Amino acid sequence: MSFTLHGLAVSQGIAIGQAHLVSHATLEVAHFTVRERDIQHEIVRFEQAIESVRAELASLSGEASAPGAPTELAALVHMHAMFLDDPLLAEVPKELIRLRRCNAEWALVQQMEQLVAQFEEIDDSYLRERKHDIVQVVERVLRVLLGKPRRLSRKPAKGDKADKDGAGELVVVAHDLSPADTIQFKNLKIAGFVTDLGGATSHTAIVARSLAIPAIVGLHHARPLVRENDMIIVDGTRGVLIVDPDARVLEEYRLRKRELELERSKLKRLKTARATTLDDIDISLQANIELPQDIVQVKEASADGIGLFRTEFLFMNRDTLPTEDEQFEAYKSVAKAMAGKPVTIRTLDIGGDKTARALTGTERQAPNPALGLRAIRYCLAEPQIFLAQLRAILRASHFGKVQILIPMLAQAAEILQTLAMIEQAKQQLRERRCKFDEHIPVGGMIEIPASALALGPFLKRLQFLSIGTNDLIQYTLAIDRTDEAVSHLYDPLHPAVLRLLSLVIQAANKAEMPVAVCGELAGDPQMTRLLLGMGLRQFSMHPSQLLEVKQQVVMADTEQLALKVARLLKLDEPERIREQVERL
């Protein structure tokens, strides 16, 4: 039966494919008693499932060691294989089948619950977190038992034949996905994804945009209503999910998908064009990246530099922290690949919705993580982690035009402490006789209203600014960016937001300090003219959005826009503001 669900459109485009449910399988297994004479058969079924997952993990392990695969993937697969072979998982459920006559799935889930409960008692937070790995291994076995052995395959290499019109394409359907889950999709072949939870500027949504695959979040009931292998359409532009579409709807969407692809390929003509406005103002269009491998997309879009490298993604999905050398190699590869174009490396912005299990040992359980020990606050509280990262960035500065960006600064004292730490890292490198750029520019993110309203110390002590509109909006309007229950209130055009933005851009321009916007607003072509009219000359966004924004830039006249935007900033009624923005 066909039905439609509505959620938040977070990454444009249309995906047509089969649903692949990613879940906590515990709740879904049937519980029944096996007849005496079927017990042996049930045990064999269980053993075969374990054997099949063993083979699955062995083949995954081969892929995980292939060139280009994240190094931590191999360690993860190895750990899962170990859990699978442990008698507590491979043998005890067989006892339960024999003694209690449980069906295999139920026996396995009971044993998993026991193990998870034991892990929850462990004090050491690292070991405690291993319970998630147990659940993941059990989920694999359950999928085989339930007759759904399915795993996502790696991205095809260049030249591989593409799937046609969604046949064989997979769309991930999940209740919720963390940014750490989502970043792993970069190495997998996925046509799109949808989740029940999540806000439009959550980091999960941001990563979806960087994957350039259609995505919808905040669907509320997709996970319980959609079944594995259902044919689904993800309209990532309108936020509509169509399950089991009829032939007519399917044909319409196939057509629309082809049209969109055509539109995108036409945009490629702008790749070599300069981003200059009609009144001859050069605009810098830079890229946001999460991992060094994103450089491929950055080059394809001909970005003028990296305006935001979200380094915290290097810390995710691994059990140990990346060493200084490992970080150095990652930053150096980006600096070298950009061949003299600016590379803005943001220091670790962990906390809020971004968590890394390698850091959980030191991380406190915050009652409100978005307002807690996040970003620079965390780094100043963990000087050794911060210093290692600063040294790695500084060393990379010898190989390109690197600059350091500090997230979530609000206090003058934090700026001073940060600069002192950078000096300390420099001194350590001097003692080691390592080369680095002595004059590396240091910038601050403006993402807390307090910093926008009290810019003095930023203008005095730093060399550039970058406005993080995702957080600036979250903190100005007091709306958790990850919570779909309040996502309707997340409004970039709220007069308070517009005034703060304009205030920062104007003050920076007056002080002749470079200022960029690197939040999601910078990549929204409907906002380009507004930002140009405020005086913004530097934008940083996901590479997939860059050409659409360039299209807006080349048709804009900044002088005219400045006059119109000055008038618009005096308005208070949201509807009038929206109207005027559309007319710019």
Residue 7 interacts with ligand PEP (CB under 6 A): yes or no: no
As measured in angstroms, the least distance from the Cβ of 4 to Mg ion is 33
Which H helix or E strand runs over 577?
helix 574-583
Q: Which residues, 6 or more positions from 377, have their beta carbon under 8 angstroms from its beta carbon?
A: 351, 408, 414
C-alpha closest to that of 303 among 536, 533, 549: 549
d(CA 517, CA 30): 51
Interacting stretch for ligand PEP, rule CB under 6 A, among 18-26, 237-245, 299-307, 465-473?
Answer: 465-473
Tell whether the torsion through CA atoms of 96, 98, 99 and 100 is positive or negative: positive
179 lies in the site for ligand PEP, by CB under 6 A: no
- The minimum distance between CB 317 and ligand PEP, in angstroms, equals 17
Helices 71-85 & 39-64 angle (0-180, nearest 10): 160
From candidates 196, 349, 363, 480, binder to ligand PEP by CB under 6 A: 349
Nearest residue (CB) to Mg ion, 181 versus 447: 447
Give residue 354's identity as a one-letter amino acid code: K
Cβ 342 to ligand PEP, closest distance in Å? 16
Q: Which of residues 500-559 bind ligand PEP (CB under 6 A)?
A: 518-519
Does residue 294 belong to the site contacting ligand PEP (CB under 6 A)? no
Nearer of residues 42 and 447 to Mg ion, judged by Cβ:
447
Choose the contact partner of 518 out of Mg ion, ligand PEP, none; CB within 5 to 8 A by kind: ligand PEP
**Residue from 42, 56, 471, 548 binding Mg ion (CB under 5 A):** 471
Among the residue ranges 237-245, 391-399, 471-479, 575-583, the one whose residues contact Mg ion (CB under 5 A): 471-479
Stretch that binds ligand PEP, among 160-168, 334-342, 466-474, 503-511 (CB under 6 A): 466-474
Interface mask toward Mg ion for 195-224; x: CB under 5 A: ------------------------------
Report how far apart the first and last C-alpha atoms of the chain are (Å, whole number). 44
Q: Of 134-142, 241-249, 439-447, 551-559, which segment contacts Mg ion by CB under 5 A? A: 439-447
Task: Specify the residue, 18 or 284, whose C-beta has the smaller distance to ligand PEP.
Answer: 284
Q: What whole-number distance in Å separates Cα of residue 230 and Cα of residue 242? A: 10
Min separation Cβ 379 and ligand PEP, Å: 14
Please answer whether residues 375 and 446 qualify as being in contact, where contact means their C-beta atoms are separated by less than 8 angstroms. no
Question: By CB under 5 A, is residue 447 in contact with Mg ion?
Answer: yes
Nearest distance from residue 205's CB to Mg ion, in Å?
13
**What are the CA-CA distances from residue 566 to residues 241, 534, 572, 579, 583 (Å)?**
39, 8, 13, 15, 14
d(CA 375, CA 340): 28
Longest dimension (CA), the chain: 85
Q: Are 289 and 308 in contact (CB under 8 A)?
A: yes
Provide φ and ψ at 200, rounded to 5°: -70, -25
With binding defined as CB under 6 A, does residue 305 bind ligand PEP?
no
Comparison of 111 and 347: residue with beta carbon closer to Mg ion: 347
Instruction: Enumerate the active-site residues.
Output: 203, 518
Q: Is 347 in the site for ligand PEP (CB under 6 A)?
A: no
Q: What is the DSSP code (8-state) at residue 4?
A: E
User: Shortest approach of ligand PEP to residue 407 CB, angstroms?
Assistant: 7
In the β-sheet with 231-235, what is the strand arrangement from edge to edge? 3-6, 240-243, 231-235, 14-22, 170-174, 192-195, 215-217, 8-11
The residue among 77 and 445 lying less far from Mg ion, judged by its C-beta, is 445
Using the minimum distance from each CB to Mg ion, give the nearer residue, 322 or 468: 468
Q: Is 443 in the site for Mg ion (CB under 5 A)?
A: no
Closer of 187 and 311 to ligand PEP (Cβ): 311
Q: Counting contacts by CB under 6 A, is residue 470 touching ligand PEP?
A: yes
Question: How far apart are alpha carbons 291 and 208 in whole angstroms?
Answer: 14
Name residues contacting ligand PEP, limited to 427-456 (CB under 6 A).
447
- Provide the minimum distance between the beta carbon of 407 and Mg ion in the complex, in angstroms, as a whole number: 6
Tell me how far, at minimum, the Cβ of 92 lies from Mg ion, in Å. Answer: 45
* Exposure class string for 230-262: b at 16+ Cβ within 10 A, else e: bbbbbbbeebbbbbbbeeeebeebbebbeebee
The whole-angstrom separation of Cα 67 and Cα 187 is: 12
Task: Name the segment binding ligand PEP (CB under 6 A); options: 79-87, 259-267, 382-390, 462-470.
Answer: 462-470
Tokens representing 34 are 């096996």
Q: Element (H or E) spanning 315, and its range? A: none
User: 206 or 568, CB closer to ligand PEP?
Assistant: 206
Considering only residues 103 to 142 of the shown chain, the ones binding ligand PEP according to CB under 6 A are none
Residue number with CB closer to ligand PEP (144 or 455): 455
The span from the CA of 467 to the CA of 407, in Å, is 10
Does 202 contact ligand PEP by CB under 6 A? Answer: no
Beta 192-195 vs 170-174: how paired, if at all? parallel
* C-alpha distances in Å from residue 51, one per residue of 47, 152, 159, 378: 6, 19, 34, 44
From the list 166-174, 329-337, 468-476, 567-575, the region that binds ligand PEP by CB under 6 A is: 468-476
Q: Which does 484 bind (CB under 5 to 8 A by kind): Mg ion, ligand PEP, none?
A: none
The closest alpha carbon to 154, from 186, 193, 191, 194, belongs to 186
Q: What is the total count of residues that contact ligand PEP (CB under 6 A)?
A: 11
Q: How do the residues of the chain divide into helix, strand and coil, expressed in percent and rounded to 5?
A: 55, 15, 35
Tell me the C-alpha distance between 209 and 544, whole Å.
8
Tell the smallest beta-carbon distance from residue 302 to ligand PEP (Å): 22
Asked if 444 touches Mg ion (CB under 5 A), the answer is no
Choice from 42, 235, 414, 471 touching ligand PEP (CB under 6 A): 471
In the complex, minimum distance from the CB of residue 252 to ligand PEP, in angstroms, rounded to a whole number: 35
Considering beta carbons, is residue 192 or 307 the nearer one to ligand PEP?
A: 307
For ligand PEP, the binding residues (CB under 6 A) are 206, 308, 310, 349, 447, 468-471, 518-519
For Mg ion, the binding residues (CB under 5 A) are 447, 468, 471
